[in-house]
Amino acid sequence: MALRRRLTNLFGRGDRLIRLARGRDRTAFLDLLGRTEIHVLSAPDPIGLDAKNISKAELLARIERHAAQFAQMKQNDEGATPFFFPAGDRICFPIFSTEEAAGEFVGAYVNAANRIITFHLLSMIGRHLAGVISRDITVILNAMTKSHVALSEEDVAQFIPMWRTD
């Protein structure tokens, strides 16, 4: 599957979800988003630590502690809190079409913040976003990457009733 994705990107067809996100057929995009595996981030400590004032031993201890907390959460089948970040007067919720895009975001975000932040990558089917998002939140597909696409308030307003199950 990874080879197919690389070949598709190499020959210019790109990620279908991104192509639809940039297109005019919003219903087709939102339908595919709801049926596609997407990735979201969770950060036990979203503020993180100042990168200048931490030793290697402190960093390793922090990573180990967060990994243990995440493993315990998964074992207990507890939900993780999705990662949101501020941008101006908006709250943004980054979602990703690939693990690589999530990794690119993490690198860009921690470099811009100059903080050390432990992130966990979670995978889910897109329809589950309907229970997490609202019109007050800016949802950004592949935030801080070359394939960055922000969903409009109208997209979010249409997506929620398409996929909400409660």
Instruction: Give the chain's mean pLDDT.
Output: 85
Contact indicator for 116, 66 with CB cutoff of 8 Å: no
Model pTM score: 0.81
142: region left, alpha or beta (phi > 0 left; psi from -120 to 50 alpha): left
C-alpha of 110 from chain center: 14
User: pLDDT at residue 26 above 60?
Assistant: yes
Band (pLDDT 50/70/90 cuts) for residue 138 is: very high
Mean pLDDT along residues 36-45? 90
Q: What is the DSSP string of 54-112?
A: --HHHHHHHHHHHHHHHHHHHHTTPPPPBP-EEETTEEEEEEESSHHHHHHHHHHHHHH
Band (pLDDT 50/70/90 cuts) for residue 84 is: very high
User: pLDDT at residue 10 above 60?
Assistant: no
Indicate the SS3 state at residue 4. Answer: helix
Band (pLDDT 50/70/90 cuts) for residue 23 is: very high
Q: What is the pLDDT of residue 13?
A: 38
